[in-house]
Amino acid sequence: DPYSGDPQRHPVLRVNSAKPFNAEPPPSLLGDSYITPSAIFFKRNHLPVPRVDPASYRLRVEGLPRPLSLSLADLKGRFPKHTVTATLQCAGNRRSEMNAVKQVKGLNWGIAAIGNATWSGALLRDVLREGGWGPEAAAVAGGGARHVQFEGLDADASGTTYGASIPLNKALSEEGDVLLAYQMNGEDLPADHGYPLRVVVPGTVGARNVKWLGKVIVSREESASHWQQNDYKGFSPGTDWDTVDFKSAPAIQELPVQSAITQPADGAVLERDADGEVTVRGYAWSGGGREVVRVDVSLDGGKTWQVARLREGDGEGEEQGEAPPPPPPPGRAWAWKLWEVGAPLPPGEQQVEIVCKAVDNSYNMQPDSVAPIWNLRGVLSNAWHRVRVTVRE
Ligand code: MTE
Ligand code: MO
């Protein structure tokens, strides 16, 4: 069994697939903390978790004037340590809502294939510069280098490894914050999250955040891997498996604006309290460093709306009246915002449909329904999130 070396996992996780291991936390737990504890952070593995010996581990960096082979000690000692709080979301988050419209291919994720963590490591930019990337190198490459490819150390029976790529300009940007991360939430990366090293590409779909990183290649072409070429792309609702041409669509990189309700749970039965209010909580995030500026919540299926209170950071100290953490620099809003609203329940109603939708600072908004954005792989599922609850007097 190639999965016999997989690590232990937290029993609270909801398992979508055991081998390879894919699981997400219960929504209420996810919405409880600004920083998602690593143990309950969703796990999305395509292959068995590789066991990597930290002592002999080397990261190879190619496609530069000076190819590099870096040990963990090199990565930790030769480059400044950079820390970023960033949200990671799978392209398939909320796929189950697409499945409810029409069957799609993929793991049946709920709303929790997303998490927010603090990541520390070397900046990919600094490592590429160490390898000689600069104006001269760009000229040597004939201006032809456009992408940075990543290869994982996890492989299938034929030896094919997981791989992906991102645009070179994201990797080189001083404001891109792309990390070769060796820590998650202040500790060594857990085995499931890429020990000893993974790429963290803030604002970019989970699939490009390659775990168990073995190789970085600066290149003219995108990664040739299945996951870059023939997966993780969006299509029209009218495209089916007979007509789909994966070459016709770009690989997903930055994700669209997203939000979801983590409390109350869909199907919950609520007691009407003294002031007839219900507390609604959730998360909101947008890709590409675009900051979520507003979340609207409705208790009547979208007829009337109110604005939720956005929690910028972890909310700690709010009770003590401390100032909230400073807002992120423009274009670098990598972390989600948790939000909350105390909303009056419509009088006399028995069945209530609670809805949320977020707006980012480009005024991108979520689509109101799933059917017009349905696609055969069930990716980019970001319609208004709806939960139906029953109210008891
Ligand atoms: N990297 C490797 N090497 N192997 C993988 O299977 N899965 C990708 C990405 N990086 C994957 C990988 C996908 S699709 C996602 S959504 C994220 O890792 C999930 O990261 P997590 O398991 O740390 O939450
Ligand atoms: Mo993913």
Same domain assignment for residues 282 and 170: no
Of the pLDDT bands very low, low, confident and very high (cuts 50, 70, 90), residue 138 is: low
Same domain assignment for residues 322 and 264: yes
Which pLDDT score is estimated for 114?
A: 99
209 lines ligand 1 (CB under 6 A): yes
What are the tokens at 137? 């190198």
Q: Whose CA is nearest to atom 12 of ligand 1?
A: 210
Range with lowest mean pLDDT among 72-86, 226-240, 305-319: 305-319
204 lines ligand 1 (CB under 6 A): no
- Of 248, 271, 296, the residue at which a domain comes to its end is 248
- pLDDT(143) > 70: no
Distance, in Å, from the CA atom of 26 to the CA atom of 36, rounded to the nearest integer, reads 12
Among the listed residues 323, 283, 354, the one whose alpha carbon sits nearest the alpha carbon of residue 25: 283
Which pLDDT score is estimated for 144?
A: 86
Distance, in Å, from the CA atom of 81 to the CA atom of 104, rounded to the nearest integer, reads 41
Same domain assignment for residues 366 and 286: yes
- Structure-model confidence comparison of residues 271 and 103, the more confident one: 103
Distance, in Å, from the CA atom of 368 to the CA atom of 174, rounded to the nearest integer, reads 36
Which pLDDT score is estimated for 272?
A: 78
Distance 282 CA to ligand 1 centre (A): 24
CATH number at residue 352: 2.60.40.650
Q: How many domains does the chain have?
A: 2
Q: How far are the Cα atoms of 41, 200, 333 from residue 116, in angstroms, in the given order?
A: 8, 12, 12
Which pLDDT score is estimated for 329?
A: 92
Same domain assignment for residues 203 and 95: yes
Distance, in Å, from the CA atom of 230 to the CA atom of 246, rounded to the nearest integer, reads 5
208 lines ligand 1 (CB under 6 A): no
Same domain assignment for residues 232 and 369: no
154 lines ligand 1 (CB under 6 A): yes
Distance, in Å, from the CA atom of 141 to the CA atom of 133, rounded to the nearest integer, reads 10
46 lines ligand 1 (CB under 6 A): yes
Domain that holds residue 288: 258-392
Same domain assignment for residues 321 and 172: no
| Whole-number average pLDDT of the chain | 94
Residue 359 placed within a domain: yes
Of all residues in the chain, the percent with pLDDT exceeding 90 is 88
Of the pLDDT bands very low, low, confident and very high (cuts 50, 70, 90), residue 322 is: low
Which pLDDT score is estimated for 59?
A: 98
Q: How far are the Cα atoms of 61, 90, 326 from residue 149, in angstroms, in the given order?
A: 10, 19, 34
Distance 205 CA to ligand 1 centre (A): 10
48 lines ligand 1 (CB under 6 A): no
Same domain assignment for residues 88 and 230: yes
Distance 164 CA to ligand 1 centre (A): 10
Of all residues in the chain, the percent with pLDDT exceeding 70 is 95
Atom of ligand 1 nearest to the CA of 92: 16
Distance 91 CA to ligand 2 centre (A): 5
Which pLDDT score is estimated for 314?
A: 55
User: Mean pLDDT throughout 149-175?
Assistant: 97
What are the tokens at 249? 């669509």
Q: How far are the Cα atoms of 36, 134, 156, 181, 275 from residue 75, in angstroms, in the given order?
A: 25, 20, 27, 9, 56
Pocket test for ligand 1, best of 21, 38, 46 (most atoms within 8 A of CB): 46
Distance 211 CA to ligand 1 centre (A): 6
**Residue found under tokens 């199907």:** 267
Same domain assignment for residues 263 and 243: no
- pLDDT(323) > 80: no
- Half-sphere exposure of residue 15: CA atoms within 13 angstroms, side-chain side: 9
Residue 6 placed within a domain: no
277 φ, ψ to 5°? -105, 155
- Of 248, 271, 289, the residue at which a domain comes to its end is 248
Query: Looking at the CA of 95, which ligand is closest?
Result: 2
User: Mean pLDDT throughout 46-59?
Assistant: 98
- pLDDT(317) > 50: no
Residue 197 placed within a domain: yes
Of the pLDDT bands very low, low, confident and very high (cuts 50, 70, 90), residue 141 is: low
Atom of ligand 1 nearest to the CA of 193: 23
User: Mean pLDDT throughout 131-152?
Assistant: 82
Tell me the residue type at 382: N
Q: Whose CA is nearest to atom 14 of ligand 1?
A: 207
Of the pLDDT bands very low, low, confident and very high (cuts 50, 70, 90), residue 328 is: confident
Distance, in Å, from the CA atom of 77 to the CA atom of 131, rounded to the nearest integer, reads 16
Residue 253 placed within a domain: no
CATH number at residue 242: 3.90.420.10
- Structure-model confidence comparison of residues 327 and 361, the more confident one: 361
Q: Whose CA is nearest to atom 20 of ligand 1?
A: 44
Q: How far is CA 386 from the centre of its chain?
A: 21
The ipTM estimated for the assembled molecules is 1.00
- pLDDT(112) > 80: yes
Residue 8 placed within a domain: no
Same domain assignment for residues 354 and 237: no
Listing DSSP states for 89-134 in one string gives E-TTTTHHHHHHHS--SS----S-SEEEEEEEEEEHHHHHHHTT-S
- Structure-model confidence comparison of residues 327 and 41, the more confident one: 41
- Of 248, 272, 305, the residue at which a domain comes to its end is 248
User: Mean pLDDT throughout 240-264?
Assistant: 98
Element (H, E) at 68: strand 68-70
Peptide bond between residue 256 and the one before it cis (omega within 30 degrees of 0): no
Q: Whose CA is nearest to atom 21 of ligand 1?
A: 43
Contacts of 261 (CB under 8 A, 6+ apart): 27, 111, 280, 281, 282, 354, 356, 385, 387
Among the listed residues 81, 22, 38, 61, the one whose alpha carbon sits nearest the alpha carbon of residue 195: 38
Same domain assignment for residues 88 and 196: yes
90 lines ligand 1 (CB under 6 A): yes
- pLDDT(71) > 90: yes
Distance 207 CA to ligand 1 centre (A): 6
3-state secondary structure of 196: coil
Distance, in Å, from the CA atom of 95 to the CA atom of 72, rounded to the nearest integer, reads 37
Residue 5 placed within a domain: no
- pLDDT(245) > 60: yes
Residue 367 placed within a domain: yes
221 φ, ψ to 5°? -105, 155
Per the CB < 8 A criterion, the answer to whether 65 and 140 are in contact is yes
**Residue found under tokens 């202040």:** 186
Q: Whose CA is nearest to atom 19 of ligand 1?
A: 44
Which pLDDT score is estimated for 139?
A: 64
Same domain assignment for residues 278 and 373: yes
Same domain assignment for residues 87 and 217: yes
Of the pLDDT bands very low, low, confident and very high (cuts 50, 70, 90), residue 349 is: confident
- pLDDT(221) > 60: yes
- pLDDT(313) > 70: no
Residue 3 placed within a domain: no
Tell me whether strands 269-271 and 198-200 are parallel, antiparallel or unpaired: unpaired
Distance, in Å, from the CA atom of 238 to the CA atom of 110, rounded to the nearest integer, reads 24
- pLDDT(26) > 50: yes
- pLDDT(56) > 70: yes
Per the CB < 8 A criterion, the answer to whether 183 and 200 are in contact is no
Range with lowest mean pLDDT among 42-46, 134-138, 146-150: 134-138
Element (H, E) at 200: strand 198-200
